Amino acid sequence: MTAAEKQTGGLDGAAEPAGRQFWRRVDRAAGGLAADLVLYLLATGFAAVTAVTSTLLPHRAWGAVAAVGYLAATIAVLGQLLARRRRPESRLAGTGARAVLTVVTWAGTALLPLVWQAVERVGGRLDRAQEEVLVVEHSGARLLDSGTPYLTRDAIAALPGGEQLLGYTPYQPGMALFGLPRALAGTAWWTDARIWFAVATAVALGLAVMLLRRPAPTISAASPVADRSGAATAGRAAARDAALVRAVQLATVLPVCALTLATGGDDLPVLALCLLALAYAARDRYLGAGLAVGLAAALKLFAWPVALVLLVHAVLQGRRAGLRLAVGALGLPIVALVPAQLVDSAALVENVLRFPLGHGLVSSPAASPFPGYLIAQALPGGRVIAAGLLVAAGLLIAVLLLRRPPRTAASAALFCGYGLLAAILLMPSTRFGYLLYPVAFLAWVPALRLARVPADPTESRPAPVPTAVP
């Protein structure tokens, strides 16, 4: 923290809570390289263990490749630490170098394993993609053939027992778009749905980073505070860039994210679009925020709570901001649902509502040992109890939204992170991989807080808004 930041009690102009100060010190130790080393070292171990012990063959294949990528990143960070020790201001150990290493590591631990598995899959390996990849590709073919990505309950019942699970498409209609390349161009490595998941993820995250790094308003050189403002702005921008590197790391190279993209991938474009929406909101561009979160909500239900939180946030900024966000956040999911509703509403309900709620012909294989799942399996009437706890958590969050609404994009990200964490832990059927959502939202908070730089440091600042949520 710079001297100017210490005088103001932190980058937000208010004294920071002790807990936040502690994590800030941990995150910035050795210019961020200490945490980088821990991240890549633990990721190396995770990938190696996955390669040896996982019961899922696509995961084992990912681990064998990713372990090498993470190990190379670990060695690179050790080199950066050495360069920093010899020369503290070395560019090899700076934020820019850390950002480059993040991109290279993502390429080696997510994109390379993804392309490798896509090529082997085209060559005849049937164990080089998770079920969701097949589901999305089949839904794209059905969208072309019948105008809806969904099969009816009767059509699913007519499938052989082992194929009924793949007959369900528990996504919003927009997800079928990622299956169109294979439906239109045939079987090739580049028509694998995961390739297009990765493209969408990279584009959305790249736009989000560009938005948050946009130069701040400048002060006239004739202003008596220009020199002080320039120093404060430079310090804040450096802290923002460091926060962005950490945020992008936890949305890309974190093993749960890299593994998910390489083997399945449907959650990553949804997450990236939500992060893009938060970045637009931080810049007061609510039409863009609405379009981004609306696209995400047209892909998967996980984005709907994010759209609700952002809508509350936008309404607090004024009627015009609320209307602009609502155009995309509500309009795009509705536009995506209308064709499927008109073609076969019963098929839509069967796939999007009945199956996720446990009323389909087959049950979801999601079975991570979180509290909701354990309660549903171990107690009499456990599924009802878990569902009740989930509803109670949702009501509590709704009350907090009304009583302490998110007045900043950062506080909106906090609501999304903690709210989805509660939902994932209490859902009767869930996956460990879903944790990528709350981790990424919470990691995005510091960068969102630092996205704004006041044009004049002498301007009065409003009192900080409480952002704590359970």
Q: How far apart are CA 112 and CA 266, in angstroms?
A: 17
- Of residues 201 and 368, more confidence is placed in 201
**Does the pLDDT value for residue 211 go beyond 70?**
yes
**Most confident of the ranges 2-16, 84-98, 252-266, 427-441:** 252-266
Q: For 17-43, how does the pLDDT look when each residue is reduced to its tens digit (9 = 90+)?
A: 766 777 778 888 888 899 999 999 999
Among 2-16, 43-57, 174-188, 292-306, the minimum mean pLDDT is found in 2-16
Q: What pLDDT, on the 0 to 100 scale, is given for residue 470?
A: 33
**Does the pLDDT value for residue 141 go beyond 80?**
yes
In terms of Cβ atoms closer than 10 Å to its own Cβ (0-12, 13-18, 19+), residue 136 is buried
**Does the pLDDT value for residue 226 go beyond 80?**
no
Segment 220-242 shows an average pLDDT of: 62
pTM beyond 0.85: the answer is yes
Q: How far is CA 270 from CA 116, 205, 294, 320, in A?
A: 23, 11, 10, 26
Alpha helices in 186-285 (DSSP H): 193-212, 226-252, 255-263, 267-282
Segment 46-62 shows an average pLDDT of: 96
**Does the pLDDT value for residue 240 go beyond 50?**
yes
- Of residues 324 and 454, more confidence is placed in 324
Segment 65-78 shows an average pLDDT of: 97
Segment 344-363 shows an average pLDDT of: 88
Q: For 360-393, how does the pLDDT look when each residue is reduced to its tens digit (9 = 90+)?
A: 888 777 667 778 878 877 788 777 888 888 888 8
**Does the pLDDT value for residue 8 go beyond 60?**
no
pLDDT band at 174 (very low <50, low <70, confident <90, very high): very high
**Does the pLDDT value for residue 461 go beyond 80?**
no
**Does the pLDDT value for residue 309 go beyond 50?**
yes
> Reduced to 3 states, what is the DSSP secondary structure of residue 78?
helix
**Does the pLDDT value for residue 409 go beyond 60?**
yes
Q: What pLDDT, on the 0 to 100 scale, is given for residue 364?
A: 74
Tokens of 408: 């900043």
Segment 417-421 shows an average pLDDT of: 93
Among 7-21, 67-81, 242-256, the minimum mean pLDDT is found in 7-21
- Chain mean pLDDT for the chain: 86
Tokens of 414: 């906090």
**Does the pLDDT value for residue 417 go beyond 70?**
yes
Q: What pLDDT, on the 0 to 100 scale, is given for residue 362?
A: 87
Q: What is the 3-state secondary structure (H, E, C) of 400-461?
A: HHHHCCCCCHHHHHHHHHHHHHHHHHHCCCCCHHHHHHHHHHHHHHHHHHCCCCCCCCCCCC
Q: What pLDDT, on the 0 to 100 scale, is given for residue 387?
A: 80
**Does the pLDDT value for residue 221 go beyond 70?**
no
**Does the pLDDT value for residue 463 go beyond 60?**
no
Using an 8 Å Cβ cutoff, are 198 and 111 in contact?
yes
- Of residues 14 and 93, more confidence is placed in 93
- Of residues 459 and 132, more confidence is placed in 132
32: left (phi over 0), alpha (psi -120 to 50) or beta: left
DSSP per-residue string spanning 240-258:
HHHHHHHHHHHHHTSHHHH
Cβ within 8 Å of residue 27, ≥6 positions away: 35, 246
